[in-house]
Amino acid sequence: MGKALEGKDEQFYYIKNRVSMLNDVVQSMDGPVDEEDLEKVELMIQSLNGKVLRFQKDRKEEQ
């Protein structure tokens, strides 16, 4: 796995990049999408949500 992200700015930059990547993936889907495409997008969203929740937890622990 990658190194831990430290600092609020670095964590938010990571989230911004992941949102941008997700947008790129969705925008690249032409025509009708199938169940597998939707599942891939859902997994990306769940992964991103997990990171957001983790970063929120980290911030609460810092207080």
3-class DSSP state for residue 8? Answer: helix
pLDDT mean over 9-21: 96
Per the domain annotation, does 41 fall within a domain? yes
Per the domain annotation, does 14 fall within a domain? yes
- The domain in which residue 44 lies consists of 8-25+33-62
Per the domain annotation, does 2 fall within a domain? no
At residue 1, the pLDDT reads: 44
Give me the percent of the chain exceeding a pLDDT of 90.
Answer: 75
> Could you give the CA distance from residue 33 to residue 9 in angstroms, rounded to a whole number?
35
> Taking the model in full, what pTM does it have?
0.82
- Contact between 25 and 45 under an 8 Å Cβ cutoff? The reply is no
